[in-house]
Structure formats: structure tokens, C-alpha cells
Amino acid sequence: MPAATPPNEVEIRATLSAPRSGTYIAASGGDTAKAVELYGWNARVSAALMLPAHFAEISTRNAAADVLERLYGPRWPWNPTFTDSLPNAGRYNPRRDLLNTRTSNMTTGKVIAELKFVFWQKLFTSRNDVRLWEPHIAWAFPYASKMPAASLRNRIYQDLDVLRHLRNRLAHHEPVFTRNLLDDLTRTLDLIELRSRSTSDWVRAMEDVTTVVAERP
């Protein structure tokens, strides 16, 4: 995803809208040409970040799903014991999310794919330590360094929280240029490695976040 010089920054800013352009103009000290270049770079680095974010989300949710299958069987989304164990209140309601998702998706694989990102993050809370993580987290994340199950579970929760907020900004085309993007990348790659070192090595070989960050205008 190469950089390119904006051919007509006035027309481009009009296309993007004044409010959207304003964030980048302010960050560029009022220089509108530099603001458009910064916008293009922000879009490029956002696209680059989606690749490692993709693998981190998929690998972590599949690890959690494997633990659920181990405990509740291959049809775990329809297991009443698991369903009843989920919180049933709050701004985000995991039980309602599962019930709604399994109503319109007939296979476990489809349920896994359609559940909200936050569903998987909320599994990594202390309420699930005894049932899920103390017995199974080392099995699900075999490349994690030796640490207490609760500590590893909390680390994964925090990493998923950072990743979820980052992914939301990427998906909504929001500015990410104020973030420590190399730290985001490291955290994302390390999360993948907890599950699979081979997958992490593959993503490290493919990612171009490092290159794009170095090209910031």
C-alpha cells in the first residue's frame, strides 16, 4: 500500500468533509497540504493494522470456543448450563447476545463468527476463573509464559480491551495517529503468539504496520 502525493488537496478535503479534515488540519498546525498527507497515512496504517487485528481476534475467540466445547460439548451455544452462567444484565448483555445469535444461526461455527467481539472479551473475567481458566487456560494458550491462570486471563482481557477499542476506531475510519501504534502492533502479535507461535511468526512476516509507521509524514 504505497504512499502517493495528493494531486488536489483542496478537492480531497472537500470530499472528506470539513469536520473530518479539521482534525488533521489541527494536528498539522494549520497546514492543509500536510493535513491531507496525514489523512492518507492514517488510512494506510489503519488498513495495515487490520491484518494483525484479524488474526488476534480469530485466534483468541477460537481458543475460548475450544475451551467451551471441552466443557459443554460441540453444541455449547445451546447448552443450558453455559447459557445460565452468562451475565444477564448491563449495557452489554452476554446472555442476550448468545440467545439472539443462536436463534438465527444453526451451527456452532456460525454462532462463533457472529457473536460480538465483546462477548469473547467478557469471558476473560474473574467470574470464569474456576470453571474455565484455572483448569484450561494453559491448554488453550500453550505458548504463554508460566504464570498464574488468573494473571494470564487478566492479561488477555486487557489485550482484548485495547484491541477492541482499536478495531472500533479502524472500522469507523477514525484517527489513530495519536496512538502508540507500534505498541498496539506488539500487543496484538504477542496475543496471537499465546495461542500459536507459528501463526504469530506468519503474521509478523506479513504485516506492514512497521513500514507504514516509519513513513509517517
Domain layout of the chain by residue ranges = 49-207
Euclidean distance between CA atoms 14 and 195, whole angstroms: 45
The confidence score (pLDDT) of residue 210 equals: 97
Mean pLDDT of 174-198: 97
Given a cut of 80, whether residue 169 has pLDDT beyond it is yes
Amino acid identity, position 96? R
The confidence score (pLDDT) of residue 8 equals: 86
| Confidence label for 185 from pLDDT (cuts 50, 70 and 90) | very high
Q: 86: number of CA atoms within 13 Å, CB side? A: 24
First to last CA, the chain: 15
The confidence score (pLDDT) of residue 1 equals: 62
Tell me: the pLDDT tens digits for 76-111?
999 999 999 999 998 999 999 999 999 999 999 999
Q: DSSP code of 173?
A: T
What is the share, in percent, of the chain residues with pLDDT greater than 70?
Answer: 100
Mean pLDDT of 22-30: 94
Euclidean distance between CA atoms 156 and 187, whole angstroms: 10
Q: Is 17 helix (H, G, I), strand (E, B) or coil?
A: coil
Q: Are 9 and 28 in contact (CB under 8 A)?
A: no
Given a cut of 90, whether residue 32 has pLDDT beyond it is yes
The confidence score (pLDDT) of residue 4 equals: 81
* Residue 174 Rama label (left phi>0; alpha psi -120 to 50; beta): beta
Taking each helix axis as running N to C, give the angle between helix 181-195 and helix 197-206, from 0 to 180 degrees, rounded to the nearest 10.
150
Q: Give the Å distances, CA to CA, from 140 to 65, 82, 119, 153, 181.
A: 9, 18, 17, 11, 27
Mean pLDDT of the chain: 95
Mean pLDDT of 206-211: 97
